[in-house]
Chains A and B, each alone.
Chain A
Amino acid sequence: MTDDELTASRRDILKTGAVAGVGLGGGSGVLSTLQPADESGEAVDQVTSFLGEDQVVKTACGPNCRGDCPLDVFVRDGQIKKTEQQVPAASEFKRGCTLGISHVQRAYNAKRLKYPMKRASWSPDDPQPGARGEDAQFERISWSEALDLVAEQIQTTKGEYGPESVYWHAGSGSQGTSGYGRLKQLVGGIQDSFVYGIDTNVGQGFNRITGEGGVFMPPTNTVEDWANADTLIIWGSDIFASQFQMDAEWILDAKRNGAKLVVVDPMYTNTAEKADLWLPIRPGKDTHLALAMMNYIFENEVYDDTFLRQRTNAPALVRVDDGTLFDPTRVSDNPPDGGIVVMNEETSEPNVVGAETGGPFALFGEWTIDGVAVRTGLAALREQASEYQPADVAEVAGLSVADIKTAADWLATRGAGGILPAYSVGRYLYGHVFGQAYATLMALTGDYGRHGNVHAQHPSYGGPSLQTGDWGNPEGGVSLDTYGYQEILSLLENGDPVQPRFLYGTNSNMLGNQFPNRERWLNAMESLDTIVWADMYHTPTTQQADIILPAAHWFETEDVLGSDHHPNIRYREQAHEPLWEARDDYYIMAGIAERLGHGDKFPDDKREVLDRFVQNDDRLSWEQLRENGTVETDETPTVAYTDAFGTESGRITVYDDDAPTEKGPGLPDEGISLEVPEPLEARTADDWEAQNEYPLVFMQKHSKWRIHSQWANVPWLREVNREPQLDIHPKDAEQRDISDGEYVLVHNDRGSMVVRAKYNEGIQPGLVNTDQGWWAEDFVEGHYQDPISAETADVGRTFAFYDCRVEVERAAEEYQSNQYTQDNPRGTAGSASGGD
């Protein structure tokens, strides 16, 4: 299907509509074309539909989109026919997306791994890591041979190089009870983690001054409460394209109730299209904007002074000389834990106050106490914000002054407000400062602990976690040293501090997605003698492995699953046995465990393990799970942040006296201390050293056609979204003599890719984008991860996928030829990948 068939112009005669309502007119009773079989049972010709005749299997989707969608799978004659959204026990959380209902083409996909395989050029004695690559050949082996090899390699590697040379890697690609965590603790070794490394910026900054959440999205009011919001600011997130299945309808509810929707994004997205106010910000200027909004709030005195006095350290007295908090023991002999010194305006005396305590405390002012000059924390913040006048920031960020003021005014004065960032702003090197900035901004407007406050998309629910007992921490297990993803490269490249030799990878297509500077990883992985990888599909990552283990599709497994993002515990009934020789991950783990002498820790039947989870949990019964597919749990408060904050003072530290000093590219050597939000930029900065050579900022947004790199080979989706493209503004393209649809070379000093140019009036001039998640074989050449740096900052410690600059030019003539205009540029993933 071409774009021509999927677009309409306003000039066309079709009128547009926001919402389609369809209905029948005329007509009397219900008609049916269904006929029962007659006595002979041969009247099948009369049956025109098997609707309602399929076995309905209750199961669940399980990638890392956080939808946790319960699904109904329709099975007949042992075949999956289709999927439909399931209405769970907490029924308002029925959800699902285009990908969820396309699962039949994931289950029956030509890229499914069918058998265990071994790289032909690999052997235990002569691993030939240099022979890995896109041309590596594989040969089929039996499961027992594969598991023997894995177990032997673990043993040999541990024996020769020590346990720390066994490296366990897992991504986020699959939910389920695998025993992976259990096995690695029994075996020992080292493990990697998202923390830090991927998307750990925004939450980290928020957490630093609120003490709440971790490094990912912070707690928020749950979605049932969003309709109470009066202003919602979606900041750097295309919520109606990515993760829309759980959030879209609730945002629309809020809009219907009268909420103003503001969208901050350099791209005119699906979400921007729904906004009352769109702020087309320049890349990397988000903290500038937050400070300009604070500036407006200070200038117009529309901050929430009661909230600031009671729940933040705004009134805390700060020493002018060194920026530390004034010592409470100089005011009180017995100050409360974490107490702050404030100036009581009624008595003109300093007091020490604990958490959640309001009073007539000065918010601004300077005093001298015991010969020490002090001012309030809020005064320090106001001074910082005064440097960011809306008029100046408008110029820096490419915005209009009026729009900045409107956004600030709506947030401050329209009632309950919310800011919903996702991870994108954290994909700039210093994105954690934005986390601090928006947490501070919402403190100024008092938007914590009230109905209608929103602090993140995809809210978490605490209730529906499973009671797994010691399953995750087996007796006799050891704790593994953990390295953030951003540290792993150093391990592989330099053996610092340990040198991994054996890698077991699962749930991850790291070389297809989210490991920046791909070529560097490929080279670094040559230090590994053995790479074992389990997956459902033959991905660009399994192509780099030595032993490949075929895992079952989710619908082919039985499981009991918690949910992070809706209050239902979910059941997966098996739709059919795993195809070919694919295996439930549990049995892969059990097979390895048995060979390493831990067979007693993995029951022969996985159901025994699941039965423990069910027996451990008073809320669960097999009967309920099997009959309904879900069990409702509801222990999560609707409104978040109603109690003292998790900081030492129990208050939001709008002035962070204990702030870290950030160091990294683009910053002065001594670093920048972050008591208050300070806009820091690396490659997006106007004065970045290589900006003339590589003038375009390159981002890789999430699309609605994939979850990370999953679903990349579903034919239905490929019909609409055929190949990787580069969103480029026609102005930038024309300057470079690039026509719409031509292949372009996107490059910098790190790497390059060749993709088709897609004119997009909605992308900011100076910015280009390729949606993430395309596999290596989908590119004519290179990969979108090749130009991205794997460098991280001292404090942020997070890969900066969007902090990337490139130049774009028309690709050489050979790339424009017909062979690259097929469904797939390399001619490998079209019909062959499709499962059609």
Chain B
Amino acid sequence: MGQAWNRVLTVGGDHVDTPEGSYPEDGDGGTLEMSYQPTACQHCENAPCVKVCPVNATFTREDGIVEIDYDKCIGCRYCMAACPYNARVFNWEDPQHVPEEGTGDVEERPQGVVEKCTFCSHRVEEGLDPSCVVNCPADARIFGDFDDENSTVSKYVAEYDTHQLLDDKGTDPKTYYIQGEMSPGRPWKGKELEEELDEEPTAEEPADVTGDESVSGAAANPTGGDD
């Protein structure tokens, strides 16, 4: 039932939570190594999925988020072949949800279309961090605006050793992986959680609802469920 938008990959052995290398028997050093790589859509500046889509269903929003217009998607899956991060999944079946109607937070993705992480654009638009950020028990994720030099995310990328996945491919992801002995503290502190939102849709708040064609295109569907 689940369509994985974000997978925490074990980098190591052939199974989840197992290392590669040799066990340090009898006091020898051993070579075991394991780490985790949370892998979701990297929201590339130069996104191969956007380029190959024959019907422009995959597009880059003005704010940089790469999204899919499920109405336009014809299920050809060129984008899946083009994505070097394996970030996309195809809906082979009719979607199933618990509860049946889903959360209604994000658009329904029907059978036959490709889907992937949206950076929780539906939350970002309301000033919320993506769900993966607010729910990370280790506070290992930071979300913010790279255009703002003073944002936490900008400071971290400036201060620590960071890299982008497969940077030699020239995709220029907007996701950075930070190395080093650090913890981002409590990124959620002082941030709004969803429960603090107004109960009514915030029509008066957004600056520009209709100005961007691609966004309004993505907004054409009635609500559906997420997984």
Contact = CB atoms under 8 A, between A and B. Distances in A.
A51 B126 contact: yes
B61 A80 contact: no
Interface in B177-208: 177-186, 188-189, 193-195, 197-203, 205-208
A96 B135 contact: yes
B94 interface: no
Contacts of B77: none
B64 A50 contact: no
A268 B137 contact: no
Interface residues of B, number: 123
Given A28-B62, A32-B206, A35-B209, A22 B20 contact: no
Nearest to B197: A52
A13 B166 contact: yes
Interface residues of A, number: 107
B137 A97 contact: yes
B163 interface: yes
A368 interface: no
B107 A48 contact: yes
B135 A84 contact: yes
Contacts of A74: 103, 194-195
A759 B13 CA distance: 9
A36 B200 contact: yes
A26 B23 contact: no
Contact of A17 (B84, B122, B163, B195): B163
Interface string B17-29: 1111111111111
Nearest to B180: A18
A50 B2 contact: no
A255 B135 contact: no
Interface in B1-59: 1-2, 4, 7-30, 32-35, 37-39, 43, 45
A241 B18 CA distance: 13
Given A104-B98, A253-B183, A758-B15, A7 B10 contact: yes
Contacts of B8: 6
Interface string B131-148: 101110111111111110
A1 B23 CA distance: 28
Given A16-B35, A400-B28, A51 B122 contact: yes
Contacts of A104: 98-99
Given A49-B122, A72-B193, A14 B37 contact: yes
Contact of B221 (A20, A22, A48): A48
B23 A280 contact: yes
A133 to B, nearest CB: 31
Interface string A741-778: 00000000000000000111111110000000000000
A159 interface: no
B154 interface: yes
Given A1-B2, A52-B197, A53-B201, A398 B177 contact: no
A94 interface: yes
A108 interface: yes
A273 B35 contact: yes
A22 B62 contact: no
B15 A31 contact: no
Interface in B92-133: 96, 98-99, 101-107, 119, 122-127, 130-131, 133
B223 A49 contact: yes
A476 interface: no
A31 B189 contact: no
B80 interface: no
Contact of B126 (A47, A52, A268, A716): A52
Given A14-B39, A400-B27, A760 B183 contact: no
Given A6-B7, A101-B135, A836-B1, A762 B181 contact: no
B150 interface: no
Interface string A1-20: 10101111110011111111
B91 interface: no
Of the listed residues A19, A48, A727, the one surrounded by the most CB atoms of chain B closer than 10 A to its CB is A19
Contact of B23 (A34, A95, A403, A729): A729
A82 interface: yes
A30 B212 CA distance: 11
Contacts of A50: 103-105, 223
B206 to A, nearest CB: 4
A425 interface: no
Contacts of A10: 11-12, 20, 33
Interface of B: 1-2, 4, 7-30, 32-35, 37-39, 43, 45, 61-65, 84-85, 96, 98-99, 101-107, 119, 122-127, 130-131, 133-135, 137-147, 151, 153-154, 156-157, 162-163, 165-166, 174-186, 188-189, 193-195, 197-203, 205-209, 212, 215-216, 218-219, 221-223
Interface of A: 1, 3, 5-10, 13-36, 44-53, 56, 72, 74, 76-77, 79-82, 84-87, 91-92, 94-97, 101, 104-105, 108, 240-241, 244-245, 248-249, 252-253, 255-256, 258, 268-270, 273, 280, 394-395, 398-401, 403, 715-716, 719-721, 727, 729, 740, 758-765, 834-836
